[in-house]
Amino acid sequence: MDKIFNIETLTRESVKSLKPYSSARDEYVSDGSEMIFLDANENPFENGVNRYPDPYQRNLKSVLAEQKGVSEANMLLGNGSDEVLDLIFRAFCEPNQDNIISLPPTYGMYKVLSGINAVENREVLLTSDFEPNISGVLKIADKNSKLLFICSPNNPTGNAFSREIVQELLEKFNGLIVIDEAYIDFSEQESWLSGLKKYPNLIVTQTLSKAYGMAGIRLGICYASEDIIAVLNKIKPPYNVNQLTQQQALKRVMNQEAVAAEVEQILQERDDLIEALQQVRFVQEIYPTNANFVLAKVDDANKRYQELLEQHVVVRNRSTQPLCENTLRFTVGTPAENKKLIAILKQLG
């Protein structure tokens, strides 16, 4: 089948005909003068958050645009990447008609969002080396397959997918491909942001929740063509990213040295953790990782999970996921936390 990409045919009818909410502050052109704002029924007394936030987060976007080498028109910010992913569903998937394709074992939200939005989730298992099964995806896809979710580095397996495989999917899949790069800052592999110009069907999502250490403020980022971003902007809630989040995010992204130093430390700690896990008797396999966590196969995941819990350590038991029988996922903690974990593992093993 020849590749046919058309944003018009992918967008839901109801979204195409929608007229987005417009605030009074979108309806005049600023000449830079100081204005008296009597348009939005806000409390006028200044307390730092008495005004509605910028619906387009211009300050934050301009810094991100420069750092990432993309234009602000290629960017949409959301209340975590979970909101961004939900907006993508609602823009492009007709409930009870369209379908998405996801590649388990992977991030659980794709399936949850497909359920919430009444969109069929077609699952194609990763291969035994945790890579996407290209022919499986292309075989199961039909004209209603609007989205393909590729999580790379993948959660919970930790590996970044082969670029050749992802590239082939970008070239052959007829819907939109969402590459979820929540862990990209830990990866040796380059971001797919560089592919935005070449692939009109590519959407890349990133987040401040992992490497940037800001899971609590909820800031997710979506990068795509101007056409795709324009569709998403039409349906996003106007004030989806609050003022405090915009401020905190701006401060953090402008302090790249601090982020880089933490990432470096986490990667060093991760390598130490892998080395320690190799010495643990009940650990049978440690999977290659490009993220801030390690997936390991153990003798009895339920038992080891409970034992760790009794020692007040919470890890993620991924045993119920396909291809992940008897696996535990360890997030890399602080040096002190990792030391404790390793001591406990040694004692158990």
Ligand X SMILES: *Cc1c(COP(=O)(O)O)cnc(C)c1O
> Which positions lie near ligand X, rule CB under 6 A?
80-82, 107, 151, 155, 180, 182, 207, 209-210, 215, 220
Q: Which is nearer to ligand X, 180 or 276 (CB)?
A: 180
Measured from the CB atom, the residue of 99 and 207 that comes closer to ligand X is: 207
Instruction: For the CB of residue 49, give the shortest distance to ligand X in the complex, in Å.
Output: 22
Q: Tell me the closest approach of the beta carbon of residue 322 to ligand X, in angstroms.
A: 16
Least Cβ distance, residue 347 to ligand X (angstroms): 30
Q: Which is nearer to ligand X, 207 or 240 (CB)?
A: 207
C-beta of 103 vs 277, nearer to ligand X? 103
Query: Which residue, 83 or 98, has its beta carbon nearer to ligand X?
Result: 83
Residue 29 exposed, middle or buried by CB count within 10 Å (0-12, 13-18, 19+): exposed
Encoded tokens for 327 = 């696996």
- Structure tokens given for 320: 């119920």
Residue nearest to ligand X (CB): 80
Which of 242, 193, 174, 195 is closest to 6 using CA atoms?
Answer: 174
Q: Please name every residue paired with 203 in a beta bridge, in sequence order, or none if there are none.
A: 178
Q: How far is the CB of 85 from ligand X (least distance, A)?
A: 8
Nearer to ligand X, 199 or 212 (CB): 212
Which tokens sit at 196?
Answer: 């935005």
- Which residue is it, tokens 């109801």? 14
**Tokens 């397996």, residue located:** 157
DSSP string, 8-32: HHHS-HHHHTPPPP--GGGSS---S
Q: Are strands 327-331 and 293-298 parallel, antiparallel or unpaired?
A: antiparallel
- Least separation in angstroms between residue 240's CB and ligand X is 12
Output the smallest distance, CB 20 to ligand X, in A: 23
**Whole-angstrom Cα distance, residue 177 to residue 152?**
12
